[in-house]
Amino acid sequence: MQSAFFNRAFILFLAGCVLSLASAACFAQVDEDRVRAIQSAFLLQFSNYVTWPEASFSDEDAALVIGILGRDPFGSVLDNTARTFTSSKRRLEIRRYKNLDDLGQVHILFVSPFLEFDKKALAAAVGASPVLLVGNAPGFLESGSVNFILRDKKVRFDINRSKYQRAGLRVSAKLLSVANRVVE
């Protein structure tokens, strides 16, 4: 009788452990989904706080292009967020590029953290084009204008002023004021 009791207790204990692990995995997934949604919203919002030279658009009706270079970490989140987003300046277009050779006209380029790239090759591919380079990897700020970070479980971003200025972009003081850090 005691053996049956211990067997049931052990099975209940194991079931509780499995449920705890599954619950933790679900919360981790929710956090990852939340981070992707927030980063997507930031990418779209950047279009309202960055000014591109007029020559970077073919005409006044041309779309502002947000590109994803490499494996897309956002999945459908960016597209779904873009459908409901209203830019104060231009309509937005989302494009995906597998590698640097595929790059076309782009105004905001998110460089996937899954993409292994040579910083010099990225600089050469973008050249002096007015592109806001955005990343999500340690050390990316050396190559790009904006780097997403997690700080105190919140999505934040750092901005490299010299990089966006070199690209011929102007960034609103409002955006700079909400950045985690602005480096020169």
pLDDT tens digit sequence for 122-137:
878 887 889 999 998 8
Distance, CA of 131 to CA of 105 (rounded, Å): 9
Provide CATH code, domain 29-183: 3.40.50
Distance, CA of 184 to CA of 177 (rounded, Å): 15
**What mean pLDDT is predicted for residues 153-175?**
93
| Residue 105, both tokens | 């006209």
Q: Residue 112's pLDDT is what? A: 87
| Residue 89, both tokens | 């300046």
Decide which of 73 and 10 is more confident: 73
The pTM score is 0.80
Side-chain half-sphere of 164: how many Cα atoms within 13 Å? 28
| Residue 100, both tokens | 């640097």
Residue spans per domain, the chain:
29-183
Q: What's the pLDDT tens digit per position in 46-102?
A: 999 999 998 999 888 888 999 999 889 988 889 988 888 877 678 889 999 988 888
pLDDT band at residue 172 using 50, 70 and 90 as cut-offs: very high
Q: What are phi and psi of 153, to 5 degrees?
A: 65, 25
Q: What's the pLDDT tens digit per position in 141-154?
A: 888 899 999 888 89
Q: Is the pLDDT of residue 119 over 70?
A: yes
Contact present, 131 and 88 (Cβ < 8 Å): no
Q: Residue 109's pLDDT is what? A: 94
- In the chain, the percentage of residues whose pLDDT exceeds 90 is 38
| Residue 126, both tokens | 């973008």
pLDDT band at residue 12 using 50, 70 and 90 as cut-offs: very low
Q: Residue 89's pLDDT is what? A: 74
> Around Cβ 100, how many Cβ atoms within 10 Å?
17
pLDDT band at residue 17 using 50, 70 and 90 as cut-offs: very low
Distance, CA of 78 to CA of 36 (rounded, Å): 8
Q: Residue 180's pLDDT is what? A: 95
Q: What's the pLDDT tens digit per position in 19-52?
A: 333 333 333 444 888 888 999 999 999 999 999 9
Distance, CA of 129 to CA of 149 (rounded, Å): 25
Q: Residue 43's pLDDT is what? A: 94
Distance, CA of 74 to CA of 170 (rounded, Å): 26
